[in-house]
Structure 1
Amino acid sequence: MEIKEISVCGEEEKIRLDLFLCKYFPDKSRNYIQNLIEDELVKVNGKVKKSNYKVRNKDNIIMTFSEPVHMNIKAEDIPIDVLYEDKDLIVVNKPQGMIVHPAAGVYTGTLVNALLNHCSDLSGINGVMRPGIVHRIDKDTSGILVVAKNDNSHNKLAMQLKDHSMTREYVALVEEVIKEEKGTVDRPIARHPKDKIKMAVVHDGKRAITHYEVLERFKNNTLIKCVLETGRTHQIRVHMSYIGHPLVGDPVYGYKKQRFNLNGQLLHAKKLGFIHPSTGKYMEFETEVPDYFKRIIKVLRKR
């Protein structure tokens, strides 16, 4: 573990925290710096700040790098469902229960470990812990992810995420019956003020927009389609819980008493579309919900 301490000078005031740190660490990408900030490995005057925080004169910034631990990430012979692959990217269908990339305390069994075994040419923009990872889905969420094989592809795909031009469609089963046919939740999301493990709707959080549409109604549940306009951590789970329709099986934001024996929320990243970084052509991929998801739907239909 390496710790760096920086003091802000007067002429450097009012610069965004992430941009300020990029200036001091030119060998680190902005995405890498933002990930450190998001992981609370950057503190300003002893407090966690967001990437858009404007630094002030005499601010004391402490950054924690854990590169030596990152180097322990190894390739593992773990089967992965590859939907498409070329020299620039890989599209995979991640199963429920698989973590996307290593993090503190979890260094094996992730999608990254599997990808390192599958191919050696992954982009390095997000560092050794997250090679090729352009976007993430939760451990217990299944579905489609695109992984970049080089930095050029990574940057172009990340830009599509940033400008909301990437198509991301999910299918979810929620508690209770949603009366309206469709709706939009536009509420900011940030770390829960009292429970750091959870996210929550917080007035000064990052803007988050989720569009939802009813696909099928059951006695006590609703099957919905969700389209993400933004991509905050746990966004669909937080937003649906906020409007009174938490995801079935969600151990964090869902009902304490669950009716089904599930290993996590019924949420599937069904469709992903983007402009290919080299060809400039639009590509779209779609997968069916997993068998355990189908079984619950079948049970609800019988009831």
Structure 2
Amino acid sequence: MSYYEPLVYLVPPEEEGFILKTVLQKRLMVSRKLLSRIKLTEQGITVNGERQYINIKVKAGDRVEIRMEEEQSEDILPQELPLHILHEDEHLLILAKDAGIIVHPTHGHYVNTIANGVVFHWQQAGITCRFRPVHRLDQETSGVLAIAKTPYVHQQISEQMIQHLVKKEYLAFVWGTVASPSGTINEPIDRDPEQPHVRIVRPDGYAAVTHYEVVKQFEKAALVRIWLETGRTHQIRVHMRHLGHPLLGDKMYLLEQYEEEAAELEATERLHRQALHAFKLGFVHPGTREWTEFNAPLPADLSDLEQWLADKR
């Protein structure tokens, strides 16, 4: 049986006499679900090299180690695809995702996804990991994508997301003149009962909070920086439309008042998706326990769009 590199914790003097389970859950932040899984693994939890039950008391200086079995995504076909790797270590793979590519295979779409490319990349590097994206980006959204290499890393970042500790920032090009230089949209979102694949602002929806700041105002559009407190489906697209400023290239949420401008942009054939880019992702790195941020530069199509808008002044 093969294992990932163990997680190691040295018990400090002030934790002398703590129950091992407390150390695992309160210091290493192992979830109850993951802890149950690790307990079933041979040599999953050891103290000073010896397998132990989690109800024992630890001593100062004890070396606590957690081992998880190596896994791989046997249901994902390895496929050589271009990957823009921003960072990789034994815990994480950070990519700059292109627009137009799906993150994970879906029914009827089993190849040409980020997952296929990552599995091939790991196979070539001799790395045994299961494909575990810690968050998702829509097919047409570009930007930073984080992929966990172990269940522990995935759980750690997921918990930070639940507690709203992960920083996710976007750049979006929106139609119109944005009256306020910055603001917050706090409006619930849910499905449109007449079009279930579309989301709308509705009083009985799920809580959704979006913050924005205008970076550049052009003649008929603006570049805005956006950061989220919640992660509802299509949240940025729905909220910006509700504000009266739908995203450029977004046909689903376009307002009638911008149809002429949208048609002019479409005629240039320079933009084939909604103008949304996830440019920054920040969180406490599960391996180093330090705050870490990753940035993806504006892709070529949006840089070209920015120049086109600037030239139209």
Q: Distance in 2 between matches of 1:217 and 1:288?
A: 20
For 1:92, the equivalent position in structure 2 comes to 95
Matched, 1:122 2:125: no
Alignment deviations for residues 47-66 of structure 1 (CA, whole Å, 9 cap, x no partner): xxxxxxxxxxxxxxxxxxxx
Tell me which stretches of 4 or more aligned residues in structure 1 moved more than 6 Å: none
Counterpart among 75, 83, 86 of residue 83 in structure 1: 86
Unaligned 5+ runs, structure 1:
1-22, 28-69, 124-130
Percent of aligned pairs with the same residue? 38
Shift of 1:179: 1.0
Aligned match of 1:259: 264
Aligned match of 1:6: none
Q: Is the contact between residue 76 and residue 119 of structure 2 (CA under 8 Å) also seen in structure 1?
A: no
Distance 1:209 1:122, change over 3 A: farther
1:281 equivalent to 2:290? Answer yes
Instruction: Give the counterpart letter for 2:298 in structure 1.
Output: V
- Give the Cα–Cα distance (whole angstroms) in 2 for the partners of residues 204 and 73 of structure 1: 39
1:222 maps to 2:222: yes
Structure 2 partner of 1:10: none
Aligned-pair distance for 1:290?
0.8
Residues of 2 paired with 1:81 and 1:200: CA distance? 34
Shift of 1:208: 1.1
SS class of match (2:158): helix
For 2:278, the equivalent position in structure 1 comes to 269
The residue type equivalent to 1:193 in the other structure is P
Is 1:112 the counterpart of 2:115? The answer is yes
Structure 1 residues 140 and 159: CA distance shift in structure 2, 3 A = same
Query: How far is the alpha carbon of 1:122 from its aligned partner?
Result: 3.5
Deviations along 1:122-175, whole A, 9 cap, x unmatched? 34xxxxxxx311101111110001110000000001011111111111000000
CA distance in 2, matches of 1:195, 1:225: 29
Q: Which moved more, 1:112-121 or 1:141-150?
A: 112-121
Aligned equivalents of 1:178, 1:254: Cα separation in 2: 16
CA positional deviation for 1:72: 4.7
Q: Which amino acid aligns with 1:78?
A: L
Tell me what 1:302 maps to: 311
Tell me by how many angstroms 1:105 deviates: 2.2
RMSD across aligned positions (CA): 1.9
Aligned to 1:139: 139
Distance 1:122 1:204 in 2: 41
Shift of residue 203, structure 1, vs aligned partner: 2.4
Larger of the two Rg values belongs to structure: 2
Query: 1:77–1:114: 8 Å Cα contact kept in structure 2?
Result: yes
* CA apart distance, 1:73: 2.9
Query: Residues 2-44 of structure 1: CA distance to partner in whole angstroms, max 9, x if unpaired?
Result: xxxxxxxxxxxxxxxxxxxxx9xx99xxxxxxxxxxxxxxxxx
Distance 1:252 1:121 in 2: 40
1:258 is paired with a residue whose SS is helix
- Please give the residue correspondences for 1:23-34 in structure 2 after superposition, counting only pairs within 5 Å: none
**Structure 2 CA distance for partners of 1:71 and 1:198, relative to 1, 3 Å:** farther
Structure 2: how far apart are the matches of 1:167 and 1:146?
Answer: 12
Q: Give the TM-score normalised by the residue count of structure 1.
A: 0.72
Q: Name whichever of 146-155 and 72-81 sits farther off.
A: 72-81
Contact 1:121 1:150 in 2 (8 A): no
3-state DSSP class of the match of 2:214? strand
Look up the match of 1:290.
299
TM-score when normalising by structure 2? 0.70
